[in-house]
Amino acid sequence: MKRFFIAVFMTGLLFGCMDKTKQETTPSFQKWWKEAIVYQIYPRSFKDTNGDGVGDLKGIIEKLDYIKSLGVTAVWLNPIYSSPNDDNGYDVSDYRGIMSDFGTMADFDLMLKGMHERGIKLIMDIVVNHSSDEHEWFKQSRSSRTNPYRDYYHWWPAEKGKPNYRYSLFDEKGDAWKYDSVTNAYYLHYFSQKQPDLNWENPKLRKEVYDIMKFWAEKGVDGFRLDAFQFAAKDTTYPPFPEGFEKNFIQYYAMQGNLHGYLQEMHQEVFSKYDVMSVAEGAGNTFEDAHNLVDEDRKELNMAYAFEGVDIAKPEGYSILHFKEVFSRWDSAFAEKGWLSIFLSNHDQARLVSRFGNDSPEFRAPSVKMLNTFVLSMRGTPYCYYGDELGMTNIGFETIEEYRDIAAINGYKKVVHSGGDVQAYMKALKFSSRDNGRTPMQWDDSVNAGFTTGTPWLPVHQNHKEINVVAAEKDPNSVLNHFKKMIQLRKDNPVLVYGKYTLLQREHPEIYAYTREMDGKKMLVLLNFTAKNATIELGEVAAIKGAVINNYESVAVKGNAISLLPYQAVIFLLNGG
């Protein structure tokens, strides 16, 4: 049997014939935030400079050249505001202050300047579905029923009896109402007891939030990610919900009341006045919900951030057919209008390679390269989470004492309290806990991976001896160098940003194949999602000009059949459109 190999073309050769359309005209559909490649930094875990074991803004400043070397064009920073850290900064006690663990406003200004000097934009996390219970607003609000800040939050007077049940994601009993004896009333907290929900029905509160956003926009930040905002509007009569609604709580919590009105007001007050991008967290329950959030004529937000894709991976695995189906369905729903975020990991998920790839020593590198190829070759704005450029893996704690995340700890208490299966809970946590995705960045092979000289707030993964930036920078075949190449490829080829997406061979059980096409330029993406060799036959093979990126040295082609090695990921440039 005669086999021949198409060697990987030197990327420079192909970059020579890149699309020049962008320079010639700038069609209205082109936007910087669509072309952005976002790198998400969890500041607590990125780089500590004062030995207290907690990452800080000076640490980010120290690593700005590294961030630039990745080629990413924007950074999304998890919250850095003053906070008692019940939920690692998602409980804000002062929206204009910097968390003392992270540094000072002077550090922030320097960091922002340093990013802008390097052509990197900054997206801030805005957490305004709730604040901290230590925010001055809440202190005032809880102090008396007649305090001017009372209506900044949701209160239910106890003389009316217990309010109808609301589910809390982080409460150890799952109850979102907390009784407060000071005023004999309950307050609402969809997240922890220390994260009381803000009352968006109050115009005074809304104005405060817009002023806060303007404060950061005036400082020069380039965008906002709206934490849990789909839950912000509420029916303040608190009608009963059907029993068991918590299993499907998003249906009851998301996109309620006048949410779209508030977003249009925010657009008018903030987004329309600055060159900032805006991204929702969550996208409601239907495509219609998602379109209503982000279609341009709605004047609300720029892009949706839908969870259906990231939710596919389960401890027992996932089906590649399901994966293809979900991403293809979302792409086609947004092909004409609206814009999506593309991501498979973030600070609320376990590690990319452990969830969606294969973190065994044999397949870790090829599988994470394959996943990075996917995220960076889809239509939509890609979000890459710190450490995934190295292929960092789950730490997999065994005991509850090792966890730091309130979701894990209170979830454990809830299971114990309700007499649930603790062993099953711990097993699930080991796979999916948020702490898996929050272990410190692995900079080098020294003790604590160069993250801190002190004791890290969360242990460093022991595999930092092999998986770290210093080692990866030296190795031309590293996950890191593949990531950089893939970013360069996307930046040089607007077809990968804007081009039409077509799924090929929907039913192929191992390979995800699709084309991207625009203005006479066409690329074929082939991704083997399995640990076995896999072959696909495609008419497109006849049009192959060459491979523009490949996570192996070569790729086997025979006739119109292409055989891929385990987790092989190749993008081909095709002749014609």
Among all residues, which ones are annotated catalytic?
227, 281
Shortest separation between residue 186's beta carbon and ligand NOJ, angstroms: 20
Site for Ca ion contains 111 (CB under 5 A): no
172, 291, 153, 280: which is closest to 229 by C-alpha?
280
d(CA 524, CA 512): 11
Q: For the chain, what percentages of helix, strand and coil (3-state, to nearest 5) are there?
A: 35, 20, 45
- Which CA distances in Å does 445 have to 10, 259, 287, 428, 468? 31, 48, 46, 30, 7
Please report, for the chain, how many H helices and E strands are present, in that order: 19, 21
Say how many residues touch Ca ion, by CB under 5 A: 5
Residues 42-101 that bind ligand NOJ (CB under 6 A): 87, 90
CB contact at 8 A, 144 and 109:
no
Question: x/- binding map, residues 142-171, to ligand NOJ, per CB under 6 A?
Answer: ------------------------------
Shortest separation between residue 124's beta carbon and Ca ion, angstroms: 20
d(CA 377, CA 524): 10
Site for ligand NOJ contains 348 (CB under 6 A): yes
- Which CA distances in Å does 106 have to 61, 93, 98? 12, 19, 10
Residue nearest to ligand NOJ (CB): 90
Site for ligand NOJ contains 127 (CB under 6 A): yes
DSSP states of 153-173 as a string? Answer: B-EEEGGG-SPPP-B-SS-TT
Shortest separation between residue 49's beta carbon and ligand NOJ, angstroms: 24
Please work out, in degrees rounded to the nearest 5, the angle formed at the alpha carbon of residue 97 by the alpha carbons of 96 and 99. 140
Shortest separation between residue 126's beta carbon and ligand NOJ, angstroms: 11
Shortest separation between residue 78's beta carbon and ligand NOJ, angstroms: 7
The binder of 56, among ligand NOJ, Ca ion, none, by C-beta within 5 to 8 A per type, is Ca ion
Selected from 14, 36, 38, 54, the binder of Ca ion by CB under 5 A is 54
The binder of 52, among ligand NOJ, Ca ion, none, by C-beta within 5 to 8 A per type, is Ca ion
Question: x/- binding map, residues 223-242, to ligand NOJ, per CB under 6 A?
Answer: ----xx--------------
Residues 551-570 that bind Ca ion (CB under 5 A): none
Considering beta carbons, is residue 19 or 281 the nearer one to ligand NOJ?
Answer: 281
Selected from 8, 22, 52, 208, the binder of Ca ion by CB under 5 A is 52
The binder of 87, among ligand NOJ, Ca ion, none, by C-beta within 5 to 8 A per type, is ligand NOJ
Which region, judged by CB under 5 A, interacts with Ca ion, from 52-60, 362-370, 388-396, 492-500? 52-60
Residue 382, C-beta contacts closer than 8 angstroms, at least 6 positions apart: 37, 38, 341, 342, 343, 375, 376, 490
Residue 425, C-beta contacts closer than 8 angstroms, at least 6 positions apart: 411, 412, 415
Considering beta carbons, is residue 61 or 548 the nearer one to Ca ion?
Answer: 61
Q: Where are the beta strands (DSSP E) in 114-234?
A: 121-126, 155-157, 177-180, 185-188, 223-226
247, 326, 340: which is closest to 294 by C-alpha?
340
Considering beta carbons, is residue 52 or 201 the nearer one to Ca ion?
Answer: 52
Q: Write out the residues near ligand NOJ by the rule CB under 6 A.
A: 87, 90, 127, 191, 227-228, 281, 347-348
Q: Write out the residues near Ca ion by the rule CB under 5 A.
A: 48, 50, 52, 54, 56
